[in-house]
Amino acid sequence: MESSPLTLTLLPEQLGVCRLPPDAEIPDWAWNGPVQSVTRTAEELSVVCAAAGVPDGVRAECGWRALKVEGPLDFSLVGVLASLAGTLAAVEVSIFVLSTFDTDYLLVKAESLETAVEALRAAGCRVLLKDC
C-alpha cells in the first residue's frame, strides 16, 4: 500500500447491483441505501442501491457489502485502487468498484467479507467495522 495506511469503513447495509435496459427510466427505488449509483451507457442502465429495495423481477445481483476508502483521495494518488484490487484478487475475492470525486467504494459479496477484511488488514489497511 502507500506510506500511510488506508482506512476503509464497512457500510451497514447490503447492496444490490441491478441491470435495466439502456432506455429505462431511473426508478424511485434506486435512491435507497447508504450508497446509490446510477450509470447509463448505450448498453444498459446500472443501478447500485439497498438490496432490500430491489423489486422482484429486476435483474440483480444482491448481497454486496461496501467498504468505503476514507478520503478524500487526491487525484494525484497513483495505484490505490490497483493495490486494493490486487490484494483482494490474491485471495480470490471478486469486487465491484464505484468511484466518486472524493473516494472509492469496494463492493464484495457478503460471503467473502471476512476473507476480504483479513486480507486488507494483512496488507496494512485499517478496516473499521463499527455501526454494522
pLDDT digits (tens, 9 = 90+) for 95-132: 999 999 888 999 999 999 999 999 999 999 999 986 55
The 10 Å CB-count burial string (b at 16+, else e) for 40-73 is eeeebbbbbbbbebbeeeeebebbbbbbbbeeeb
Of 87, 32, 23, nearest to 55 by C-alpha is 32
CB atoms closer than 10 angstroms to residue 90 = 11
Question: What is the CATH topology of the domain spanning 7-123?
Answer: VC0802-like (3.30.2130)
Q: What's the pLDDT at 96? A: 97
Q: How do residues 1-50 score in pLDDT, each as one tens digit?
A: 445 789 999 999 999 999 999 999 999 999 999 899 999 999 999 999 99
State the average pLDDT for the chain.
92
**Domain definitions of the chain by residue range:** 7-123
Query: Cβ-count burial of 27 within 10 angstroms (0-12 exposed, 13-18 middle, 19+ buried)?
Result: middle
First to last CA, the chain: 26
Q: What's the pLDDT at 2? A: 44
Binned at pLDDT 50, 70 and 90, residue 70 comes out as confident
Q: Could you tell me if residue 105 is left (phi over 0), alpha (psi between -120 and 50 degrees) or otherwise beta? A: beta
Whether the predicted model's global pTM rises above the 0.95 cut: no
